[in-house]
């Protein structure tokens, strides 16, 4: 007597078919004639950073923080969580705070990028940096450059911010050491220093 397909064999073949169909459906579709970036391919990029035009070659997937640190050697900007949660990598884009880890380098072309190095006046600290020193607004210091840039961006929008505005302006920057009271005091001091032209 000839036996048909067993239940086990039937279930195995159905499972394999479903798996194959799911894999085909999930595969990326590329339209005929669409350009596909080759791995490792670099494109020329001109960035306006801290008042200077800088030319570098980057892969299209390069983030702004990678371009700043690895391409330009400006290591004051720190990588933290690298997913837009901690604010350690904050820079200014056209005067407004942005997370450099969440922005492609190519997106910054044509914009004015300011890093923590760009706040200095020669070898002298900028007003926000000086205020952070005077108020001991750091402990381990890892988040400090991001905090400084967030305060700088805030003061460019509000010359004399209230405590609530400072809290709001720094809400996206985490200090794992908990130096917030000192950071808020430094922000108020920086507003005073900027107001007196220091």
- The CATH number of residue 72's host domain is 3.10.20.30
Name residues of the chain where pLDDT drops below 50: 1, 24, 28, 30-31, 33-35
| SS3 label, residue 46 | strand
- Tokens at 45, concatenated: 């990029």
pLDDT tens track for 144-181: 999 999 999 999 999 999 999 999 999 999 999 999 99
Q: For residue 6, is it within any domain?
A: no
Determine the pLDDT at residue 159.
97
Q: Whole-prediction pTM value? A: 0.79
Strands 90-93 and 96-99: antiparallel
Domain housing 152? 43-195
Q: For residue 18, is it within any domain?
A: no
- Find the largest Cα–Cα distance for the chain: 101
Determine the pLDDT at residue 135.
97
Q: For residue 33, is it within any domain?
A: no
Rounded to 5 degrees, φ, ψ at 128 are -70, -45
Determine the pLDDT at residue 22.
56
pLDDT tens track for 101-114: 999 999 999 999 99
Determine the pLDDT at residue 196.
75
Q: Where are the beta strands (DSSP E) in 6-155?
A: 43-49, 52-58, 90-93, 96-99, 112-114
Q: For residue 19, is it within any domain?
A: no
Determine the pLDDT at residue 23.
54
Determine the pLDDT at residue 197.
62
Q: For residue 117, is it within any domain?
A: yes
Q: Look at the chain and report how many structural domains it folds into.
A: 1
* 46-62 burial: b if 16+ Cβ within 10 Å, else e: ebbbbeeebebebbeeb
Rounded distance between C-alpha atoms, residue 113 and residue 101, angstroms: 14
Determine the pLDDT at residue 40.
74
Determine the pLDDT at residue 155.
98
Q: For residue 10, is it within any domain?
A: no
């Amino acid at each position: 007597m000839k036996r048909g397909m067993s239940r086990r064999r039937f279930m195995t073949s159905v499972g394999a078919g479903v798996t194959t169909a799911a894999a085909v459906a999930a595969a990326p579709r590329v339209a005929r004639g669409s350009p596909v970036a080759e791995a490792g391919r670099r494109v020329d990029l001109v960035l306006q950073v801290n008042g200077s035009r800088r030319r570098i070659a980057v892969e299209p997937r390069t983030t702004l923080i990678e371009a700043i640190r690895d391409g330009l050697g400006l290591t004051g900007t720190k990588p933290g969580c690298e997913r837009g949660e901690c604010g350690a990598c904050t820079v200014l884009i056209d005067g407004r705070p942005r997370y450099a880890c969440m922005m492609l380098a190519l997106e910054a072309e044509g914009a004015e990028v300011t890093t923590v190095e760009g706040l200095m006046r020669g070898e002298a600290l900028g007003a926000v940096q000086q205020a952070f020193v005077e108020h001991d607004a750091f402990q381990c210091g890892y988040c400090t450059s991001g905090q400084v840039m967030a305060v700088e961006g805030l003061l460019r929008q509000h010359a004399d911010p209230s405590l609530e505005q400072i809290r709001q302006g720094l809400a996206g920057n985490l200090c794992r050491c908990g130096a917030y009271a000192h950071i808020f005091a430094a922000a108020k001091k920086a507003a005073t220093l900027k107001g007196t032209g220091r």
